[in-house]
Copies of this chain bind each other. A is one copy, B any other.
Amino acid sequence: MKILVVGANGQIGKHLVSLIQQSDGFEAKVMIRKQEQAAYFENLGAETAVVDLEGEIEPIEQAADGVDAVVFTAGSGGHTGKDKTIMVDLDGAVKTIEAAKAANVKRFVMISSFDTTREAIQEANESFAPYVIAKHYADDWLRKTDLDYTIVHPGLLTNDTGTNQVELAGKVTRGEVPREDIARVILASLQDETTVGKEFQVVGGNTPVNEAIKLV
């Protein structure tokens, strides 16, 4: 199973590519923004495609051609301007969804935000609201496709070493979760078809990822 990781150079993305490359029957193809990011992934044995998420859909479609699933884990990041939020977190996500459809890739895993409901938008402070809005519409777009989607809503991301233990359900209490464990959740979702058409929140917890995924 070949997985296109969009946003591979992000922190979750790097964990995910490593996990994929270590997993029997899985191989990663990475979509990255800059050629200088390629060597890192080539050293892991991953195929690379240099594509600008702010550009046209066609190069994304070409990157998705022939893969079995697409994972969207790109993010504008806190250090960029708010204009990047709508360009990457919303429009980049929608273009990736449309590219998957055009390339006949049915399986799609979206890394969303912890809560992207209308209520969450209204409760967000002015600084965070644009990001929640962008993720809200991206998730909405994906739900309205006929792709075999899974939407992962992670809690507060940390760089702590993963424990492979999570709490995972439609609704959980807000909390921290290591990026490494989110990468495990993504891979486990790709390995378990019961996650198709589902979405769930994930925080640190006491259930091994592979078991937690089965209870969704």
A residues neighboring B (CB under 8 Å):
54-57, 81-83, 85-87, 90-91, 118, 121-122, 126-127, 129-130, 133-134, 137
Q: How far is the CA of A127 from the CA of B55 in the complex (A)?
A: 14
Q: How far is the CA of A113 from the CA of B134 in the complex (A)?
A: 20
Question: What's the least CB distance linking A41 to chain B, in Å?
Answer: 27
Smallest CB-CB A-B distances: 7 pairs: A82-B83, A82-B82, A83-B130, A86-B86, A86-B130, A91-B133, A86-B133
Question: What's the least CB distance linking A38 to chain B, in Å?
Answer: 24
Q: How far is the CA of A55 from the CA of B121 in the complex (A)?
A: 9
When distances are taken between beta carbons in the complex, the residues of chain B under 8 Å from A85 are: 82-83, 86
When distances are taken between beta carbons in the complex, the residues of chain B under 8 Å from A81 are: 82
With A57-B118, A122-B56 given, is the CB distance from A87 to B129 under 8 Å? yes
Q: How far is the CA of A122 from the CA of B87 in the complex (A)?
A: 11
**Can you show 12 pairs from A to B with CB atoms below 8 A apart?**
A54-B129, A55-B122, A82-B82, A82-B85, A83-B126, A86-B86, A86-B90, A86-B134, A87-B129, A87-B133, A91-B121, A137-B137
